[in-house]
Amino acid sequence: MVDFNQDIQYIKGVGPARVELLHKLGIYTLEDIVTYFPREYEDRGNIKKIIELMPNELVAFRGKVVSRMVETRIRPGMTIYKLIVSDDTGRMMLTWFNQAYLKNMFHIGDEYIFFGKVTGNFGKLEMQSAIFDKVGENKNTGKIIPIYPLTQGITQNILRKIIENALELVRGNMMDALPADMLEKYHLCDINKAINDIHFPVKLEDFEKARYRIAFEELLVMQLALLLLKKKGNVQARGISFDKDDGIDELINSLPYSLTNAQNKVWAEIENDMIRATSMNRLVQGDVGSGKTVVAMMAMYKAVKNGYQ
């Protein structure tokens, strides 16, 4: 049995040092972390050729290292590292700043997947601070990557790893609030798949289905809660019973235009509510110019005619 109230500090990858950082994000328990959803996604699985890359595009491409890393110290505290990679369509200059650990990482002939924003123009394209994986590793590239809201002191990679560890604990153990027949009727995936796919979808279609499933449940719960409040109010709260014959027809006939069918329908519903001895809870919704104001005025007129101001 999974304890969803388990303190976040006991999740693998957290520990005392990161607890306070996660608290700043509103994450205190196992349930909090698995329901801490991404704010957006980066599709790092769509691998392009260098010749296809466009300036200002956030994109992934496959390249072979064709030069040694060039280290240039331009001023104290600022060192630039440059590397040239290529494919069968062209070359690309990659640049990193103050990342000395990269100096001896790349070897001529090795192939990587790089992801980042393309800069420059069509004559000379560059990519700064590229994220990369050796071909076949697919840790940070080659797939759809979730991007989460962060706080200072915690990175995307750290948070993603913590969420992966948390999902391992709950996978297949989350109880679905929706019955099987409802899932089938509305073509919804179960909650375990939805939670997994909203964090780490294989395809963008998986994310869309997961988001729809979770939103469906949230809206259903909200609607049921509102219905319960309305029912409780109808039973417990005594409303004001207005007289039906109060001269409202005289007001309607004095208008310089006739009410539309929609206005007449809405007014009939409002008037029936006002005659009843239970509290009315109603929202009038419509496009600009559809005539909501005059309907509201008629309700106020009826109240005044019955002695309420």
Q: Is residue 235 very low, low, confident or very high in pLDDT (cuts 50, 70, 90)?
A: low
Q: What is the pLDDT, as a whole number, of residue 121?
A: 73
Residue 262 one-letter amino acid: A
Q: What is the pLDDT, as a whole number, of residue 95?
A: 96
First-to-final CA distance of the chain: 59
Q: What percent of the chain stands above pLDDT 90?
A: 65
Q: Is residue 234 very low, low, confident or very high in pLDDT (cuts 50, 70, 90)?
A: low
- Work out whether strand 58-65 and strand 47-48 pair parallel, antiparallel, or are unpaired: parallel
Compute the distance between CA of residue 274 and CA of residue 244 in angstroms, rounded to an integer.
9
Number of residues written out for the chain:
309
236 exposed, middle or buried (CB, 10 Å; 0-12, 13-18, 19+)? exposed
- Which is more confident, 52 or 307? 52
Mean pLDDT value across residues 152-157 = 93
pLDDT tens digits, one per residue of 96-152 = 999 999 999 999 999 999 999 999 876 788 999 999 999 988 888 999 999 999 999
Is the pLDDT confidence value at 208 over 70?
A: yes
pTM for the full predicted model: 0.70
Compute the distance between CA of residue 125 and CA of residue 215 in angstroms, rounded to an integer.
41
pLDDT tens digits, one per residue of 249-265 = 888 888 888 889 999 89
Q: Is residue 10 very low, low, confident or very high in pLDDT (cuts 50, 70, 90)?
A: very high
Mean pLDDT value across residues 258-287 = 84
